[in-house]
Amino acid sequence: MELIDLSREIFHRTQAHPSHPPVVMTVWGDHSEKKVAGATTFTSKALFMSMSDHAGTHVDAPVHFDPRPGAASIDQVPLEKFYTEAICLDLSHVPLKHAVTVAEMEAALAASGEEIRPGDTVLIHMGVNARLLGKPGYLHDFPGLAVESVHWLADKGIGMFGVEAISPAPEGELNFRAHMACAERGITHIECLANLEAVVGRGRFRFIGFPLKIRGGTASPIRAVAVVG
């Protein structure tokens, strides 16, 4: 059994969607500060963190993009949704800012030699981190799914899909429409994944990505892991 980390680090000023607040981290307490409790002298260290529930590698809750009463917050989504079978499709060749079509999704699925089964998590490797991470274009130039491709995934009965970029579809109107399509079809998605190249061509694997239990949360950071073998 091999555990493959698919998560981005969370650090001060982690790359975040422009519509969300930045990650702010600083030292709250340090080992240079001695403390006394009775006859015992000790030190401890802790960090202060301020961030959006959409920070780092995270999964969106239905309430983030579904305005209807009763849309689930992240603490209300069943844990089974985050412990699933999964595959990864290789679309790392698509151009930047491109909206991946159904035909391209079908070709990538055929090339994988796998099938999409009900309840699967489908990860989509588009080469975003290799091409854009650490550059200004990371926030704007990423490719993503066409709205029709979101519906194509939903038609196959998936639970969620995941991308490396800060949004599931290219920047602008397409991104908003993709979120609305997820709401319409009852699926969700993971953003800001890492290391997807490590699971391309590995067949089916177990995906684990449990969210924090944030009351009323519109999303949550996750530790995304692929279990292969």
Cβ(201)–Cβ(228) below 8 Å: no
Measured CA to CA, the distance from residue 189 to residue 130 in angstroms comes to 21
Tell me the per-residue pLDDT of 86-125, one tens digit each, with 9 for 90 and over.
999 999 999 999 999 999 999 999 999 999 999 999 999 9
Residue 162 pLDDT class (50, 70, 90 cuts): very high
Say if residue 69's pLDDT is above 90. yes
User: What percent of the chain is predicted at pLDDT more than 70?
Assistant: 100
CB 147 within 8 A of CB 169: yes
The pTM score is: 0.94
- Confidence tier at 15 by pLDDT (50, 70, 90): confident
For range 28-40, the mean pLDDT: 90
User: Topology of 58-228 in CATH?
Assistant: Glucose Oxidase; domain 1 (3.50.30)
